[in-house]
Structure 1
């Protein structure tokens, strides 16, 4: 079994690669893994150091938009697990171009090449943000897409492309959509690692608007377990939701992070102007993946946050250079 993992040096992709090569997915024991990653600001080879010497691992630095490179690397693989994406909403508001280029054009290049190469399965990793916002209840996989940010619009476009290749060409495509991820090795521009590292440094954390926006939180290991289930057992042409079952307002999330870091609200939190087009609430139904594939999130939020705070406390050498280079948390 040979698997191409795009974006495998990023937060979620590297967790998947480490788990796979360290025997975490028994059905894929002995698999050969090729990581294709551009190594943009959020891609980091240090994320893959635990498996860097594994004989089953190959790293290729390159852009998924580079059709010649993809045509050289992809053939001969049995499956593609496609993580590579520009994913930060705030950056997409400042400039949408890289998001459309990477997320839409890059996915099209991969799909075209996989089609010509006869790849067995194309697993496309996406997000709950493609649905927009939901006041009550939870989205099912049949819910209409209504993205509100340039980032989520570009991901919706890539989802539709992937599913179109199944319907037009009969490609074995599966799409997963996840809720908000957290865990170790997450680039410190995202809310949980940004808040943790700021608090560990005695700095304030920025809370958007009234803090009432609601997100469902999913530990990265549960997300990757769901991806593996979809890769192994998902039905071609289907979408599967992967959620954590832990909805919190941003204010509640902040309170938990303050408690975990030993800080107090009055000296550590500052309210900032709300994000443009800020979705109020996300909520995925995970009944389909539970009933069809047996997915159940295994890590409680309390345990996951405690482990995540401990990791960032113990791994300053990983995140401090990243924050300093990106001028985050000032």
Structure 2
């Protein structure tokens, strides 16, 4: 049977990709290769595992011998494994280089040795750096501005070398901010939902005016499925939406879902170093293949927040040990029956 390998498949984005590919390619064997670090969760893929629809191999993408075993016989490898939290990259940048650059190199070499037919590499729009106006297309020069984005750009340079030296069948995907259920709560939407659920104010960097585009995890997974079939080898595809919001707007929407006024629950904190003002990408290339986003953040956000409130037990250790848990919300302001 044809075989698909998803590295990082027990994490947020990887598990949504696994769900989509399981449905769209029912005759394929599905192998999830994941180190099961803090951002992964067996519950993200439990349904696929218990039904026998997918196999989980626990291991490190930097382990070459194991990587060769896992990708042996694979028709497609979706490389989604990565360290991805920008804040963490400032304090532990070597880990980001090891996983994101060396790990990508390891997977590529394993795929080369094993004759894998197609590799989809998941990169990020952050490799372009700050885009104050307009949108970056795939030909825009890379200009990473933090250790995370630098490590992702470094991974792309390794891919470029393999494309030219070995004619490797690689397609690269640069996505914008992905939202949805199962995301580890170090990113703005899940963290803010859990902050408010635990009665804490929302710590917002700087002025809160930094802007980001948001794409549903399901729409991103649909793009990956399309590129497995129609993506041009050696090509790069931006995958993004037109949903653009300031961080303070995200905070306002989440506060409203809980029944709060923003000014009652906001807690401005010093900005992080080199916090890019805006990212934006032009997705014309993949839209020409027939893909377009089908979901909108404003419609999905109440359901996403409700999921985090219903699954707070997953993250109890995190919420109990946040380095900066935030100021308590005045008990007098708490709605008796939050609108979820």
TM bin (shorter chain): over 0.9
8 Å CA contact 2:20–2:225 kept in 1: the answer is no
Corresponding residue for 2:6? 5
Corresponding residue to 2:271 among 274, 282, 285: 274
Asked if 1:299 corresponds to 2:295, the answer is yes
Corresponding residue for 2:20? 19
Distance 1:325 1:227, change over 3 A: farther
Corresponding residue to 1:111 among 108, 111, 120: 108
Q: How far apart, in 2, do the equivalents of 1:33 and 1:54 lie?
A: 12
Measure how far apart 1:309 and its partner are: 1.1
Q: Partner of 2:45: helix, strand, or coil? A: helix
8 Å CA contact 2:21–2:225 kept in 1: the answer is no
- Show CA shifts across 1:140-187 (max 9, x none): 000000000000000001112123212221111000000001110000
8 Å CA contact 2:215–2:240 kept in 1: the answer is yes
Asked if 1:241 corresponds to 2:238, the answer is yes
Asked if 1:194 corresponds to 2:195, the answer is no
Asked if 1:182 corresponds to 2:179, the answer is yes
Corresponding residue for 2:330? none
8 Å CA contact 1:18–1:50 kept in 2: the answer is no
8 Å CA contact 1:172–1:236 kept in 2: the answer is yes
- Show CA shifts across 1:73-94 (max 9, x none): 2111111000000000000011
Q: How far apart, in 2, do the equivalents of 1:44 and 1:175 lie?
A: 25
Measure how far apart 1:212 and its partner are: 1.1
Asked if 1:205 corresponds to 2:205, the answer is no
Give the structure-1-normalised TM-score: 0.95
- Show CA shifts across 1:264-300 (max 9, x none): 2232111111110111110011111101x21110001
**4+ runs deviating over 6 angstroms:** none
Cα RMSD for the two superposed structures:
1.4
Corresponding residue to 1:310 among 306, 315, 319: 306
If you compute each CA radius of gyration, which structure gives the higher value, 1 or 2? 2
Q: Partner of 2:57: helix, strand, or coil? A: strand
Corresponding residue for 1:159? 156
Q: How far apart, in 2, do the equivalents of 1:299 and 1:97 lie?
A: 36
Measure how far apart 1:261 and its partner are: 2.0
